[in-house]
Amino acid sequence: MELKNTYITNEDKFLQFNFWVTTYCNFNCRYCYETCDKPDAYMSQEIADKAIEFMYNEIDTKACNALWLNFHGGEPMLNQKLIVYVVKKIKQERPDIKLFTTATTNCSVMCEEAAECISELTVSLDGTKKCHDMNRVRHDGSGTYDLAVSNALKYLELKGNVRTRMVVTPDNAADLSDNIIHLIELGFREIMPGIDHFSKEWTEELFGTVYHELLKVREYRLAHPEYRIKIGIIDSAIKRLGKCYVGCDGYQIYINGKLYPCTYAAGDEYYEVGDIFNGVDVNAAKRINCMNNGKLEACAGCGYYEYCISPRCRIINQKLTGDHMTPSVVVCASENLKIKLHGIK
């Protein structure tokens, strides 16, 4: 796994777990791949306690010294009390474990205590008010920009630095440089644009637009070295990804204690690989691992094969195309965008 922080280093042996503290979200973003019909459900303290026991057992069994814990949702800050409880409990019970915590929030609520428990906080902002309110809306359809930016700036002041996650869609692609520069001028210095892989509206021309917009951002950054800006797609390293297998990085721990191999699989019964009460279902894990190990014939001969997410993750293929062995053309285009930005031929 790629290390994204300096607290857990390459010398540490660590596991990463995704704690689904809620499946509910008080926003109804139009591009959300988890859809708007998520249940209004929350992880209980009892489930959290059993999940912590499960994590301790995994860490001790695999002789790890570090734990990377991500709080996921839904909107995780809607269950902020549980976040605080879990972090304090682990720090008190297992001071021998290096604990690094992350979370992404839509900034609908402000919770200083929970934010202080998060080592690396990411806020979701899509840029200018026009583009943010285009997709990031409440359940009644109203925009969320004013509330989200207000709380995001409070988090920025509290933490000193927060990452900004923005979703790049076909309808905001032409505004990408304006959106990124807007966030920079608000005071954010680490911006992570992500392509909406689930949209059916992408075209080759639109990806060309994204490329030229990112070149404008690169020029802006060169003109403002004092800002020390990091832009995800531009600065993301291109490297071999390695094979994905169940438990290689840790597990998704769902609100009910069920285990899944990755975020895209969470909540899908087909990909369930056990639970925190009985442990990992070896046969279920083996079935998924066998699927991931097969050669992706559609991508055979591609010089980028070992660097691309499609050959590595058959689950995302299924979620995007309906078939584990059929890669998404949108993923392919976004991967080629990174190659082009890095000047690789």
Closest CA to 28 of 125, 183, 141: 141
Q: Full-prediction pTM beyond 0.75?
A: yes
Decide which of 44 and 5 is more confident. Answer: 44
Tens-digit pLDDT profile for residues 217-253: 999 999 999 999 999 999 988 888 877 778 777 899 9
Banded pLDDT at 8 (limits 50, 70, 90): confident
Q: What is the pLDDT of residue 2?
A: 46
User: What b/e readout covers 321-338, taking b as 16+ CB neighbours within 10 angstroms?
Assistant: beebbebbebbbbbbbbb
User: What b/e readout covers 172-201, taking b as 16+ CB neighbours within 10 angstroms?
Assistant: bbebbbbbbbbbbeeebbbbbbebbbebee
Tens-digit pLDDT profile for residues 188-209: 999 999 999 999 999 999 999 9
Contact between 285 and 252 under an 8 Å Cβ cutoff? The reply is: no
- The token duo for 229 is 């800006």
State percent of the chain over pLDDT 90: 82
> How many whole angstroms separate alpha carbon 67 and alpha carbon 17?
8
Q: What is the pLDDT of residue 345?
A: 53
The residues, ordered by sequence, that sit 6+ positions from 18 with a Cβ below 8 Å of its Cβ are 70, 72, 250, 251, 252, 253, 263, 266
Which residue has tokens 């690169």? 218
- The token duo for 290 is 């066998």
> How many whole angstroms separate alpha carbon 173 and alpha carbon 195?
9
How many other C-beta atoms lie within 10 A of the C-beta of residue 303?
9
State percent of the chain over pLDDT 70: 96
Specify the pairing of strand 259-260 against strand 250-253.
antiparallel
Contact between 165 and 192 under an 8 Å Cβ cutoff? The reply is: yes
Specify the pairing of strand 120-124 against strand 14-20.
unpaired
Give the single-character DSSP code of 305. G
Tens-digit pLDDT profile for residues 274-316: 999 999 999 999 998 888 888 899 999 998 998 998 988 899 9
Boundaries of CATH 3.20.20.70 in the chain?
A: 14-235
pLDDT of 1 strictly over 90: no
> How many whole angstroms separate alpha carbon 78 and alpha carbon 228?
32
Tens-digit pLDDT profile for residues 21-51: 999 999 999 999 775 556 789 999 999 999 9
Closest CA to 58 of 94, 105, 111: 94
DSSP alpha helices (H): ranges in the chain?
45-61, 80-93, 112-116, 129-135, 145-159, 176-186, 204-223, 232-235, 282-293, 309-312, 314-321, 329-341
pLDDT of 105 strictly over 70: yes
Architecture of 14-235 per CATH? Alpha-Beta Barrel (3.20)
Residue type, 280: V
Q: What is the DSSP track for 91-110?
A: HHH-TTSEEEEEEEE-SSS-
> How many whole angstroms separate alpha carbon 101 and alpha carbon 320?
29
> How many whole angstroms separate alpha carbon 223 and alpha carbon 216?
11
